[in-house]
């Protein structure tokens, strides 16, 4: 197995950061709040910066090339397709629950619920993007 390029190392770091920060949010508790979402965004930014700085400090050759850019584009395409698909599914579920009378828009926590669902979609799309890029480095382009 060939050694990892600078870009690959940063991708693995991003995936670790995403799993470490987003994992507990979605699987360890259900009492989400605006403060927790904001805290998570700050946490992922700080963790990403720290990890990228460590990788940059220990990597001599930090050049990127056309293959890196091609793989990056593939990742963004996969992430976009994921978020678009989740949006369609989310809208279909919203329509279903509304027509069935199961959605109570007068609930004071409905905004937080929508925020959580929307944020979850973005997180899944982000992880899809990173994972696609990691896989693309190992596949034939």
Partner 1 sequence: MPAIRNQIRELRAAREMTQQELADRVGVTRQTVIAMELDKYSPSLETAFKVAIELGVPIEQCFQYDPKGRR
Applying CB under 8 A, which residues contact partner 1? 2-8, 61, 63-68, 137, 139-141
How far apart are CB 139 and partner 1 at their closest, in Å?
7
User: Whole-angstrom Cα distance, residue 35 to residue 40?
Assistant: 8
32 or 136: whose CB is closer to partner 1? 136
- Residue 3 is given by DSSP the state P
How far apart are CB 138 and partner 1 at their closest, in Å?
9
User: Whole-angstrom Cα distance, residue 17 to residue 50?
Assistant: 10
3 or 99: whose CB is closer to partner 1? 3
How far apart are CB 140 and partner 1 at their closest, in Å?
5
65 or 106: whose CB is closer to partner 1? 65
Phi and psi angles of residue 24, each rounded to the nearest 5 degrees, phi first: -60, -35
Q: What are the C-alpha distances in Å from 61 to residues 7, 22, 64?
A: 10, 31, 9
How far apart are CB 95 and partner 1 at their closest, in Å?
41
Give me 22's structure tokens.
């987003």
């Amino acid at each position: 197995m060939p050694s990892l390029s600078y870009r690959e190392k940063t991708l693995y770091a991003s995936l670790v950061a995403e799993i470490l920060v987003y994992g507990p949010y979605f699987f360890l508790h259900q009492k989400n709040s605006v403060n927790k979402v904001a805290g998570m965004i700050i946490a992922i930014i700080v963790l990403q910066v720290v990890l990228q700085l460590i990788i940059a400090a220990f990597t001599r050759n930090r050049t990127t090339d056309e293959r890196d850019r091609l793989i990056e584009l593939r990742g963004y395409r996969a992430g976009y397709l994921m978020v678009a698909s989740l949006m369609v599914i989310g809208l279909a579920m919203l329509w279903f629950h509304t027509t069935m009378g199961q959605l109570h828009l007068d609930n004071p926590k409905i905004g937080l619920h929508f925020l959580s669902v929307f944020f979850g979609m973005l997180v899944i799309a982000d992880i899809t993007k990173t994972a696609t890029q990691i896989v693309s480095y190992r596949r034939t382009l």
